[in-house]
Amino acid sequence: MPLAVRSALFGLLRPSLLSFLLSVPAREVQSAHRPESFRGSPLIEVDSLINRLDLEKIFGRRAALHVDLGCGDGSFLCTLAQRTPKKNFLGVERLLARIRSATRKAAKIGNVRLLRMESSYVVRYLLPSRSVETFYLLFPDPWPKRRHWRRRIVTEDFLSAISQALVENGTFRIATDQGDYFEKMKEMARANSNFAIIDPTVADLPLTKFEETFRAQGASIHWLELRKISPVR
């Protein structure tokens, strides 16, 4: 990213970061870039919004990384992390009330870290290349009205950024109750030479609160699972 663009982004995003930090009690924030000081708070205080995250420093170890984009209150993320203690889990959520709830849930789970930020920004600019084993995007805002479709998180550029962050053969798991959004995402995935669409392997995943609600209402749940592949030259 050109320096001028980085500086502009930093200038735009820094106020929101400061606003967030001022709104969170100090006891809930510890720098995950100093793992020796980790005392139960999984909330990451980023040192920079233009440099890639130092994941080994953040987690205090090297391990396969799973990222939950829009982790909500952390229920899905924390359940999965407890089931798989040998992997690292990062939850990304922009809403303050949700990230606070997730922080409380993850306080005593050593392989979970949380970041309050827009998911698309984290994927594009903060996650190192080839650092993520699995991404989860579970029930993203569907923006059902056609005039709002441009606000949907899954775009061609977003899929390309996901591909850059995934390790070879890494996976991207998506769930939605919106059939039209599902078809559009599948169409974009087919057009992206970095991905192969595979049969979803989601039977072992914990249910999210959204999924529980949608199932109780009799809604269909659509799963899309993508695997990163090497494009044919």
Catalytic residues: 141
Given a contact cutoff of 8 angstroms between Cβ atoms, the answer to whether 154 and 174 are in contact is yes
Given a contact cutoff of 8 angstroms between Cβ atoms, the answer to whether 20 and 45 are in contact is no
Bridge-based pairing state of the strands 222-228 and 195-198: antiparallel
Report d(CA 13, CA 9) in Å as an integer: 6
Report the 10 Å Cβ neighbour count for 125. 18
DSSP label at residue 33: T
DSSP 172-204: EEEEES-HHHHHHHHHHHHH-TTEEEE----TT
Ranges of H-type helices in the chain: 3-23, 55-59, 75-83, 96-106, 119-121, 156-165, 179-191, 209-216
Report the 10 Å Cβ neighbour count for 24. 18
Integer angstrom CA distances of residue 178 from 61, 90, 191: 38, 26, 20
Q: Which residues pair with 43 in a beta bridge?
A: 114
